[in-house]
Amino acid sequence: MAQTNHLSDELSSVAVSPANGGNPLTHRQILVVFSALMLGMLLAALDQTIVATALPTIVGDLGGLNHLSWIVTAYLLTSTAVTPLYGKVSDLFGRKALFQIAIVVFLVGSALSGLSQNMGELIAFRALQGIGGGGLFAMVMAIIGDIVPARDRGKYQGLIGAVFAAASVLGPLAGGFFTDSLSWRWIFYVNIPIGIVALAVTTVVLKLPANRMRHHIDFLGSALVAAAVTGILLITVWGGNTYPWTSNTILGLAAASVLLIAAFIYVELNSPEPVLPMRLFRNQIFSVSSVLGFVSGFLMFGAIIFLPEYQQVVRGASAIKSGLMLIPLTLGVVLASVGSGALISKRGKYKIYPIVGSIVVGIGLYLMSALKIDTSYAVQAVMMFVTGAGIGLSMQVIVLATQNGVEHKDLGTATSAISFFRTMGGAVGTSFFASILVNRLAYNMPKLLPKGVKVPSSLANGAVSGSPTVLNSLPPVVHSALLQAFVNSLHVMFLAAIPFAVLAFAIGLFLPEKTLRTAVHSRGEDTSKESLPLLIAE
């Protein structure tokens, strides 16, 4: 215990302190801090993966497939909206307290989500959970930027990739186990003990300096961006499903969203301390990474989340088995993420990885568009591994490039902004692909049923209501049509994702390659000059 306290005190005195000259921590010190950070990251990563395998059962218990996207979208909506605020406030006041607040809010949302009695309550409490979740990833990545030099950051971010990989394996397994053996509600309750441990560990070992100066918080800018995000997501969720694309509701939301974005830009240009400084977009690394983050999130969160649906609806897998079947995707992500991180630290080059990653993702999406009712698991594993490898090649690089390309005073804001755009892409992508899936199901089902057989009410308008067990009990002719309609709809959905992989490739070509720094910045230093001694010559 004395050794731990001594190490904690040592961390307090050196971590990104101006008195320390911005020198990096030792490997041992960094690993101690990482023990706290990875617990927080585990919460966020576990929540994403543990929910996926339970979605069909939740939908069967509380509502239809047309509500499925809201279980995910509500979380993404709030986590997206608050991410820039977390980044800015942490730049102003320090990151530790905000990190712990995010954990507490996340745990309260988790507990209430588990207690939900209807779909409306679950969506609302998932939104509360997202307010906490939005700070977890952003704060972890910003703290890493504080304590690890850019040149070494790749290998340490590989540890974050390992956390995601562990969560990707444990999450579906735990989600499947709780769903099959106890209740889907336990997928939320399990966050509570992990979160309590994370709070305890961060209190002991996470020692970071806090800025106590008076500052202006841009609440108006935060409110405007939240409102704009809400409008955009409502368009993607309701458009072509609840309302026609040309309806007054959708057109009105589009007009309102444009006006809100314009108002947000105006406020940010005139705010003394904007939540998202517009000057950052003059930095090509930041602007390209922001767009690349949005497109990557669109693909990563949007299309992949429906793989458990295929395993359970089409293959008849249990929740826990569908989780096990996603392991090849996880292996692809972790091997590519850790491998690329090590190579970046060794060679100091990062641009090639998101470019190659977009190509590999495009290939994976094309392969998955060929999924059929009887596709063997060996073939599925190859498809998922390829797609996961593409995601892993670019997932961490965008953050690394951004942190290396901005001044340290903007590190938290810029990191959170990248998380914002990636999460925004995921939210829009989830709604977009869900809309395609539901609409194509509504189109395919009547065509595949024999004449005289009507579409059951539980499957009307593309809404697959009922758990996999209930769906398997449908009349054979209806069940057969459902399976074929589902794979036909998935085919269109995955093909629709490929152009976005091509777009990611094109955007990646414009990402500047800037030499990675070999020292940690101290607060307030100007890193915009290439002549700084923090930069290394190749």
Over residues 256-302, the pLDDT tens digits come to: 999 999 999 998 888 877 878 888 888 888 899 889 888 888 887 65
What percent helix, strand, coil does the chain show, rounded to 5? 75, 0, 25
Residue 78 has a CB neighbour count (10 Å cut-off) of 26
Q: How many CB atoms lie within 10 A of CB 387?
A: 30
Coil, strand, or helix at residue 275?
coil
Is the confidence at residue 236, as pLDDT, over 80?
Answer: no
CA pair distance 340, 131, nearest whole angstrom = 31
Query: How many Cβ atoms are within 10 Å of 179's Cβ, its own excluded?
Result: 26
CA–CA distance, 200 with 514 (Å, rounded to integer)? 38
C-beta separation of 208 from 95 below 8 A:
yes
Residue 433 in contact with residue 307, Cβ under 8 Å?
A: no
- Is residue 466 classed exposed, middle or buried when 0-12, 13-18 and 19+ CB atoms within 10 A define those classes? buried
Distance between CA atoms of residues 38 and 198, nearest Å = 9
Question: Which residue's structure tokens are 């009922």?
Answer: 466
- Among 18-27, 204-213, 325-334, 432-441, the range scoring the smallest mean pLDDT is 18-27
pLDDT value, residue 402 = 83
**pLDDT band per the 50, 70, 90 thresholds, residue 108:** very high
pLDDT of residue 462: 52
- 81's CB contacts (< 8 A; 6+ apart) are 134, 222, 225, 226, 229, 230
Residues 419-457 pLDDT 10s = 778 877 877 787 788 778 888 888 888 888 877 777 666
pLDDT reading at 7 higher than 60: no
Residue 150: pLDDT band (50, 70, 90) is low
Looking at residue 450, what DSSP letter applies? P
Judged against a pLDDT cut of 80, whether residue 472 lies above it is answered with no
**pTM of the full structure:** 0.71
For the domain 2-218+271-508, what is the CATH code? Answer: 1.20.1250.20
Question: Above 80 in pLDDT, residue 167?
Answer: no
Residue among 306, 303, 335 at smallest CA distance from 322 = 306
Backbone angles phi, psi at 239, to 5 degrees: -60, 125
CA gap 140, 87 in Å, rounded: 11
pLDDT confidence of residue 256: 93
Tokens of 503: 């777009």
d(CA 496, CA 327): 24
Q: What is the mean pLDDT of residues 139-147?
A: 74
User: What digits encode the pLDDT tens for the residues 290-334?
Assistant: 898 888 888 876 566 778 778 878 887 776 677 678 788 878 887
Angle at alpha carbon of residue 379, lines to 297 and 69, rounded to 5°: 35
Is the pLDDT higher at 110 or at 515? Answer: 110
By C-alpha distance, which of 119, 143, 109 is closest to 41? 143
**Once rounded to an integer, what is the mean pLDDT over residues 506-517?**
83
